Amino acid sequence: MLIVTGGAQDAEARFPHLEIISFDSLMADRNDHIVSTATETDTAVVIFTSGTTGVSKGCLLSHRYAVRTAENMIGPFRLTADDVAYTPYSLSHIGPAFYDILPTLMTGGRVVLRDGFSLSAFWPELVRFGVTWFMCLGSVQQLLYAAPPCPEERLHKVTRCWSTPAPVPKADFDRRFGLHFLPGGGYGSTDAGWVVVPQWDHPGGNGEIHGAGHHHHS
């Protein structure tokens, strides 16, 4: 089974042995579930690294990896069914896929998917959709802080957001936008997962150690 955001016909031609499902069809009003024979150690997705330390590499990530990575967000960030996540980033990156969308789906919350970042639409959309948290890339944090003030930047319901790196000082960012910004504090990678996770309600971003690879049940 392969879920694609576009080019379904090309995918069917290239992968005739797979069932091709368009992402749009999953967004339709349907209450049935996708039946899968996959096990937790089977490959769920191939996500490429950002290439920080060399040539970008494709990582074969398992279903267990995806679930554990999402769980590593749910606990430290205190995510519940009342939360609304906002992500304008590409789903080919591990951040929006496993840090934003999957944990929100697992807790029964809502996700606002935007096709690309827009500086002018950012705060108005957060207000419009009742967003409560978001991931803020370092470059996005700089753009938001450098932009002229707008009324919506203080009318939102955002309680926390996080970023790595965090070029704008936390105190300045919090004061202007009226939220709790968590500047990094963790450690992880695409292939290893988020190994040390910052907790949003601890000053200084104290870490909570998790393992992305193995999950044992007693």
CA-closest candidate to residue 48, choices 90, 1, 3: 90
Average pLDDT over residues 142-164: 93
The pLDDT of residue 202 = 63
Neighbouring CB atoms inside 10 A of 131's CB total 24
pTM exceeds 0.85 for this model? no
CATH class of 63-209: alpha beta
* Residue 211 contacts residue 218 (beta carbons within 8 Å): no
Which residue ranges make up each domain of the chain? 63-209
Tell me the sheet residues that pair with 135.
162
Q: Convert the pLDDT of each residue in 14-67 to its tens digit.
A: 999 999 988 877 766 566 676 778 899 999 988 888 777 788 888 899 999 999
DSSP letters spanning 104-143: HHHHT-EEEE-SS--HHHHHHHHHHHT--EEE--HHHHHH
The pLDDT of residue 205 = 45
